[in-house]
Structure 1
Amino acid sequence: MSEQRQHVEIDSRDDIELRLGADVVHLPIVRSVAANIAMRADFDLDAISDLELAVDEACATLIALAAAESILGCRFTIGSDEIAVTASVRSDHTEAANTSSFGWQVLNTLTDSAVTWSEPDGVGSGQHLVSIGLSKRRPVVAG
């Protein structure tokens, strides 16, 4: 049996969604899921660490904006060469996450793309759904 790791293609039907209370005590769970997904997608150790830290920062940012009793939703979409993550919370704030903060600069450094947006929650509560989307591509290995 070969000791070489084999890459397994994962498609969109294998998206993973988490729904957790918007509380910092749940950040280790989200980090762990992000790292596990990146490992299974055959990302290298640096990319796994970058994604884990980026997901932590994105979710911590959203938790700080979350309305009381809000749920943090986090969806991982695994492509052939990248992992995309979309995280959202309901918020009493109408604006998206602050893109001039240090935390946002961290997200931009750790990922290949990061965006944030806010939209009315659609249920007439006066709250908004604040979201952060990020992606991390598998590093190209020179060979």
Structure 2
Amino acid sequence: MTETQSEVSVEDEPRAPNNVEVRVAANLEQLSVLRAVAAHIAMREDFDLDAIADLKMAVDEVCSTLIMRATPGSTLTCRFQANGNDITVQATVLSDSDSTPSRESFGWRVLTTLTDTVNTWIAPASADPGGYLTHIELVKRRGSASG
């Protein structure tokens, strides 16, 4: 995948008809694609305008955080799962860092204000070139208020 390419897939599993996975080059120019996908899914699930805006900002913050940690040339994977009353977003990127993003940062405080739950963890990458997979997962529920 070149630096400007994006890839979108919809899982065909019967038990997961509302799953969407987007893979983009881990660079800030791709944030608008991810925000647009988040907004579309939230609109399709009939979230109100405030919840849609919160989800878009949260996806932007999660993906920005991961892009800043990404190894050069890596891919950011963002999975969206709509479950009727909530949307789960899990974003992952390859990083050289073996530590999670700070839960004391301003960005983390923004995430906890905009979403219902947010979590982060690290896992060793299983293939070359090694490194660590940094994960951030959030859940936004329909009608939950921000701030």
Which interval holds the TM-score relative to the shorter structure? 0.7 to 0.9
Larger radius of gyration: 1
Q: TM-score, normalised by structure 1?
A: 0.88
Alignment of 1:48-127 (within 5 A): 48-123=52-127, 125-127=129-131
Q: Distance in 2 between matches of 1:105 and 1:125?
A: 32
Q: Note if 1:34 corresponds to 2:43.
A: no
- Give ranges in structure 1 of 5+ residues lacking alignment: 1-10
Q: Distance in 2 between matches of 1:104 and 1:68?
A: 23
Calculate percent identity across the aligned residue pairs: 47
Q: Distance in 2 between matches of 1:58 and 1:98?
A: 12
Question: How many matched pairs?
Answer: 130
Q: CA RMSD in A?
A: 1.2
DSSP-derived class of the 2:140 partner: strand
Structure 1's consecutive aligned runs of 4 or more residues displaced over 4 angstroms after TM superposition are none
User: Match for residue 3 of structure 1?
Assistant: none
User: Match for residue 46 of structure 1?
Assistant: 50
Q: TM-score, normalised by structure 2?
A: 0.85
Q: Distance in 2 between matches of 1:34 and 1:50?
A: 10
- Give ranges in structure 2 of 5+ residues lacking alignment: 1-14
What whole-Å deviation, never above 9, does each CA across 1:6-49 have from its counterpart, x for those lacking one?
A: xxxxx722200000000000001100110111000000000000
